[in-house]
Amino acid sequence: MTAIAVSIAGSDSSGGAGLQADLKTFSACGVYGATIITALTAQNTRGVDAIHNVPADFVGQQFDSVFSDLAVNAVKIGMLSEADIIHAVADGLKRHKARSIVLDPVMVATSGDVLLNQSAIDTLRTILLPCADLITPNLPEAAQLLDEPLAPDETVMLAQARRLLALGPQAVLIKGGHGNGAQSIDVLVTQTERRSFAAPRIATRHTHGTGCTLSAAIAAGLAKKMTLMDAVASAKSYLSAALAQADQLMIGHGSGPVHHFHAHW
């Protein structure tokens, strides 16, 4: 059987983040990708100019179309900007008994533009986090979900990961890309295990879509029946290589995308 992953996310018109980054990542990782679109954005490498949310009932219709026909092995969730869309996604996941759910709680774009309505954060926290097998917040997102200051080091990252785990997801991966130091360290916590994943911090301004890419790569690994630990390790290696090759691309005038197909061209 062909491994299939579905991206539930917003569209990035410049192709570097959102469901476009997810589809590129799925393909690069050897997985067939499908989509459930939650929002259209007018954006480029310099920022988000406009957001047009997809009606919640249409999000539900997309769920039914995809899951009634495709044997979905894993789900990656990205941008959900309104509470009713979050409810529609949670209902769709339960209705279709989705498995291997990776939730990237996207709140702010790389450019600094807000992608999640402030009033929807509580809904995300209480309704969707308990549906997830893994959540992948970066340092600012973890802090915002917990109403705490930004974690300054790995010790506090671990403590925050455990507090997020108490909100209901099966596992938490806090990403250290916004931190300092020569190493970029991500901390993974489950009910029974903890592990840190370190990689050299890569000096490049082309970081558009890094969070989308990592979570999509994890979902791709889970779709191929990898263990969670192996899927995270594989995704971390894939993203590090895509970042290392990002400067080969000449895309836009701002924070350009990573090189999703670095192994192919």
Q: Return the active site residues.
A: 175, 207, 209-212
Give the separation between CA 159 and CA 71, rounded to whole angstroms.
37
Phi, psi of 155 (to 5 degrees): -60, -45
Largest CA distance in the chain: 47
Burial per residue of 137-166, b for 16 or more beta-carbon CB atoms within 10 angstroms, e otherwise: bbbebbbbbbeeeebeebebbbebbeebbe
User: Are the C-beta atoms of residues 129 and 167 closer than 8 Å to each other?
Assistant: yes
d(CA 180, CA 29): 29
Strand partners for 171: 190
Residue that has been written with the tokens 């997020």 in this structure: 164
DSSP line for 96-162: TT--SEEE----B-TTS-B-S-GGGHHHIIIIIGGG-SEE--BHHHHHHHHT-PPP-SHHHHHHHHH
d(CA 226, CA 205): 31
Tokens read off for 213: 């890419």
